[in-house]
A and B are shown apart, each in its own frame.
Chain A
Amino acid sequence: MSGLRYFAALYGTLTRTGIALQIQYRAANVIWMLGGIIEPVIYLVVWSTVAREQGGSADGWTPADFAAYYVTLMFVNHLTFAWVMHVFQFRIQQGELSFALLRPIHPIHSDIADNLGFKLVMLVVLIPAALVVAWTFEPRWNTGLAETLAFVPALILAFSVRFLTEWSLALAAFWTTRVTAVNNVYFTALIFLSGRVAPIDMLPGWLQTVSASLPFYWMVAFPVEVMLGRVPPGELAAGFATQLAWIAAALGMLSLVWTRAVRRFGAVGG
């Protein structure tokens, strides 16, 4: 079987069974999803209130702008989300990793497929929730065909940056049993610097500089801003290039760390 056909068939099967798996976990998944729905609604309420109290806008953002931003962010955050950092330690301890290492494919493939399965299944919850939020908060969209077309690659690249970065960081579990500490630092940075707490242009100047030099903005905020028409067309290409550069960096880190992680696993045992 040729390489491409093999991978197409592989992903077809893994995603299909991944969906079956995620349907089994529906109760737990709905609880997970609630976090992803409630968080943007809270920030939306906060910033809309601030905008109204400041005479209709905060840093140029009206309540309708915030509504469009957070409804879009709800989708982007869901579609780029990954959970591998939370489960890797468990995997090593339970021996799941041993079986993964005995199979003739890299374990990242089944993670990607399970992740896609989860996202597809959970759209059933997310779409109605987003409609309710939109109906309540009356967003104003500046989105046309051009923005929508640019949004698709921005979203796929954002998912790749986030997934590959988190998969590499998850490998810390090979060296330390205190992965929770590593995770806390990462997720705190992510929530502030990816545009979830506030749109990046509302952050203090120095924090915007920090954000620009890290991958977080490119994981969530960038596709949101593309969708809302807040990225000038002339800057799109540079944006995609930056995402690609982060993907290359994450891939490089992943393959480097993975080789060492497996070597370490082989030295100390599972």
Chain B
Amino acid sequence: MPQPAIRVRDLSKAYRVPVRGAGLRAALRSLVRRETRTVDAVREISFELAAGEVVGFLGPNGAGKTTTLKMLSGLLHPTGGTADVLGHAPWHRDKGYLRRMTLVMGQRNQLLWDIPVIDSLDRNRAIYGLGTDAYTSTLDELVELLDLGELIDKPVRNLSLGERMKCEFAAAVLHRPQVLFLDEPTIGLDVTMQKRIRSFIESYNRSTGATVLLTSHYMADVEALCRRVIVIHRGQILFDGELAGLVQTFSAHKTIVIDLGAWEGDLAAYGEVVSRDGSRATLRVPKEDTPRVTGRLLADLPIVDLTVEDPPIEDVIERVFNEEAAE
């Protein structure tokens, strides 16, 4: 068994946030005594990533995803537990570590706004001390893979969001990092651009064997890239395993899609009607009832077509988070 690239043990992060009520009295009181409250952003999480693995890190807003990525990239110091990435404790931020990892934040940019992309890349070349040959060949490859030819000489401010994100990726992997932390890398991008970024991540992973930990709100990203997902909610890990297993574990329901032809009667007796559009109807039924309901449907109604499906992963995850929140 090779050494894991990322090993996280009981990692925790608590923030102290000031508490102040509304109004003048509360404002005055806060002058004398600052009250603080502890918020546990991440609570004793543990997981490992093997070298070369691409893992989706899922959770609703505020679940602790970004906090975890920031700890693993060395920006935040944990309040408990340990992490080892490529043999380094990330928050020591030693140069040997920083040269081997990268963090891409979909909502932030590292490229300088007012100068051409190539100048920002050139700065990174100098900062990472890349040799001319290595730089040129990596750059050529990135220009090809991300289709940057037209963009590279333009100032960043003149690029669209999608174009900028492609250039951000080029800047982020110019030094050929072995570990990539990607925080919402496709946020706000159109479908075509999302696909482009996705296929870039896939080919970078394939050609370099880099380890990737990725957060995204778009399940399409996760389905395309990750066999394994880690689901985090309120700072704790709810699930860590194969993407397919997530649906098995959390979905107590199946979806039955039927084509009823001209029949227009009531379906409520068979299950929860999710949608009904012309002759097509979608029913949601408890998993264990699926064979029985399917049998009844086929026996009772003039069915033209019938399929049984797992619900979309988005729905499963949404349900998991909602149920957790309701508890």
Q: Is the CB of A266 within 8 A of B127?
A: no
Q: Is the CB of B128 within 8 A of A104?
A: yes
| Distance in angstroms between the alpha carbons of A110 and B75 in the assembled complex | 19
Instruction: Provide the residues of chain A in CB contact with B301, threshold 8 Å.
Output: none
Given the interface pairs A102-B73, A266-B77, the reply to whether A24 lies near B123 with Cβ below 8 Å is: no
For window 89-130 of A, CB contacts with B under 8 Å fall at 94-95, 98-99, 101-105, 110
User: What band does the interface of chain A fall in when counting residues whose beta carbon is under 8 Å from B?
Assistant: 20 to 34
For window 61-109 of B, CB contacts with A under 8 Å fall at 67, 70, 73-77, 91, 93, 95, 98-99, 101-103, 105, 108
Total number of A-B contacts with CB less than 8 angstroms? 81
Asked if A267 is at the interface (CB within 8 A of a chain B CB), the reply is yes
Q: Is the interface of A mostly helix, strand, loop or mixed?
A: helix
**Residue picked from B120, B122, B129, most chain A C-beta under 10 Å:** B129
Q: Is the CB of A13 within 8 A of B125?
A: yes
Instruction: Provide the residues of chain B in CB contact with A103, threshold 8 Å.
Output: 98, 124, 127-128
Instruction: Provide the residues of chain B in CB contact with A95, threshold 8 Å.
Output: 105, 108
Q: Is the CB of A99 within 8 A of B127?
A: no
Least CB distance, A115 to chain B, in whole angstroms:
15
Chain B's closest residue to A267 (CB) is B77
- Additional A-B contact list (17), CB under 8 Å, known A1-B131, A14-B123, A17-B122: A1-B129, A10-B127, A13-B126, A14-B126, A17-B123, A21-B119, A95-B105, A98-B75, A98-B108, A99-B110, A102-B73, A102-B102, A266-B75, A266-B91, A269-B15, A269-B70, A269-B76
- Residue pairs across A and B with Cβ atoms less than 8 A apart, 29 shown, are A1-B129, A6-B129, A9-B126, A9-B129, A10-B127, A10-B129, A12-B126, A13-B122, A17-B120, A20-B116, A21-B112, A21-B119, A94-B108, A98-B103, A99-B108, A101-B75, A102-B73, A102-B74, A102-B98, A102-B101, A102-B102, A103-B128, A104-B95, A104-B127, A104-B128, A110-B123, A266-B75, A268-B15, A269-B76
6 A-B pairs with least C-beta separation = A266-B77, A13-B126, A99-B110, A104-B95, A24-B114, A104-B98
